[in-house]
Amino acid sequence: MPEWPNGPDSKSGVRILRTEGSNPSLSAIGGSKGFMWVQKQIVLAPKPRGFHLITRELLAHLPELRGFKTGLAQFFLCHTSASLTLNENADPSVRADMEAHFAHFVPENASYYRHTLEGPDDMPAHIKSSLLGTSVIVPIGGGRLLLGTWQGIYLGEHRDRAGARTVIATLFGE
């Protein structure tokens, strides 16, 4: 992991990577001054295998979001055996069905796997991570994420005994 300019906040597991106020060189992009960047490293506590709604957990570490009139939020997961995706945020059976489907779709112990040294869940975890991806981008408006009514950000934990997961959150806008 690279060294970050600011140390970790021991209470939240958050490191502020970069916060920048108005940047006149960006004014040509949007036609006005006042663009901001905020970037934070957020460490999520270890979670069991499955799909976990993490929207509130991410937002708890981003009070700066309230200062953005419009913009984009990118969430990037720094791991190859987990994933980020958007999906149903109300009914937990969707998360259970997602786990059941991916366990069936990408089985453990497939005879053609070569990468097996780290256990039977490792190669399937890498495949699931590639299929779902490690990044989501959500528009910002009025100081909040503009998610659809039933959308939430999921962490797909694809390992049986994974550790903490690191997400880099980058906010850009005005």
Q: What are the 10-residue block averages of pLDDT along the chain, 174 residues in total?
A: 45 51 36 81 98 98 97 98 97 97 97 95 98 98 97 98 97 98
Residue 58 resides in a domain: yes
Query: Using CA atoms, how far apart are residues 170 and 65, in angstroms rounded to an integer?
Result: 10
Who contacts 43 (Cβ-Cβ below 8 Å, separation ≥6)? 8, 13, 14, 164, 165, 166, 167
- Residue 163 sits at the vertex; the CA angle it makes with 162 and 168, to the nearest 5 degrees, is 110
Residue 139 resides in a domain: yes
Residue 25 resides in a domain: no
Residue 54 resides in a domain: yes
Q: Look up the domain containing 154 and give its range.
A: 43-162
Query: Using CA atoms, how far apart are residues 171 and 173, in angstroms rounded to an integer?
Result: 7
Residue 84 resides in a domain: yes
Please check whether residue 159 is in contact with residue 103, taking contact to mean a CB–CB distance below 8 angstroms: no
Place of tokens 């880099």: 168
Q: What is the pLDDT of residue 68?
A: 97
Residue 10 resides in a domain: no
Query: How is residue 7 annotated by DSSP?
Result: -
- Residue 15 sits at the vertex; the CA angle it makes with 9 and 20, to the nearest 5 degrees, is 125
Sign, CA dihedral 71-16-155-136, equals positive
Residue 87 resides in a domain: yes
Residue 111 resides in a domain: yes
Query: How many domains is the chain built from?
Result: 1
Core vs surface per residue 114-137: b (16+ CB within 10 A) or e:
eeeeeeebbbbbbbbbeebebebe
Query: Using CA atoms, how far apart are residues 104 and 62, in angstroms rounded to an integer?
Result: 36
Q: Residue 154: which CATH number?
A: 2.60.120.460
Q: What is the pLDDT of residue 34?
A: 84
